[in-house]
Amino acid sequence: MAEIIEGKYSAEGLRFGIVVSRFNEFVTKDMLEGALNELRRFGVSDTAIKVIWVPGAYEIPFACQTLCQTNELDALITIGCIIRGETSHYEHIAQSVCDGIQKVTLEQTIPIGFGVITVENMAQAVDRAGGKQGNKGRDAARSAVEMVQLIRELKPGSERETALKGLIEREFKK
């Protein structure tokens, strides 16, 4: 049978940074509340959460990179809302933000829950900030928690690996 490794939904003792875009704050504040509520539900204390507001979505990757340099956090969560306008600006910002966040997570080797929504209009944004499409801030927080736990399972020295080594040692002593 295949070995299945999954992250757990437990975050007690973990530290998180949440980078939130102030642009379209009408939407992002509800997404932030969804993320905070989800982290609390998984056992994260408010003192283990840093919320950083940035002017717009474009600034999210730089704030994430700067937070990584503190080595204080187990994961980051990004929250932003990019709404299509009448020009191609939307595509440029959306692509830059996505690429920037991906670059940070890969280079800094830290899980980042992606909660930057790209929508056609305000109605779609509201639907994704706690409306009929759920709360993408909550989803990003859940993803960050799961990835922290998954990475811990995969890295050498994890609890899982330590338990397996102990089991092997006990078997060989028989």
Q: Which among 8, 25, 55, 89 is annotated as catalytic?
A: 89
pTM for this prediction: 0.88
How big is the CA angle at 70 (ends 100 and 156), to the nearest 5 degrees? 85
89: annotated active-site residue: yes
DSSP state of 58: G
- pLDDT over 90 for what percent of the chain? 74
Least confident of 34-38, 86-90, 162-166: 162-166
Architecture of domain 16-173: 3-Layer(aba) Sandwich (3.40)
Q: Which residues pair with 75 in a beta bridge?
A: 16
Look at 40 and 6; give whichever has higher pLDDT: 40
Contact residues for 36 (Cβ-Cβ < 8 A; gap 6+): 18, 49, 51, 141
Q: Can you tell me the distance from the alpha carbon of 34 to that of 79, in angstroms, rounded to the nearest whole number? A: 10
Strand, helix or coil at 142? helix
pLDDT 10s digits, 25-80:
999 999 999 999 999 999 999 999 999 999 999 999 999 999 999 889 999 999 99
Q: Is there a contact between 116 and 101 (Cβ–Cβ < 8 Å)?
A: yes
Residue 113 pLDDT class (50, 70, 90 cuts)? very high
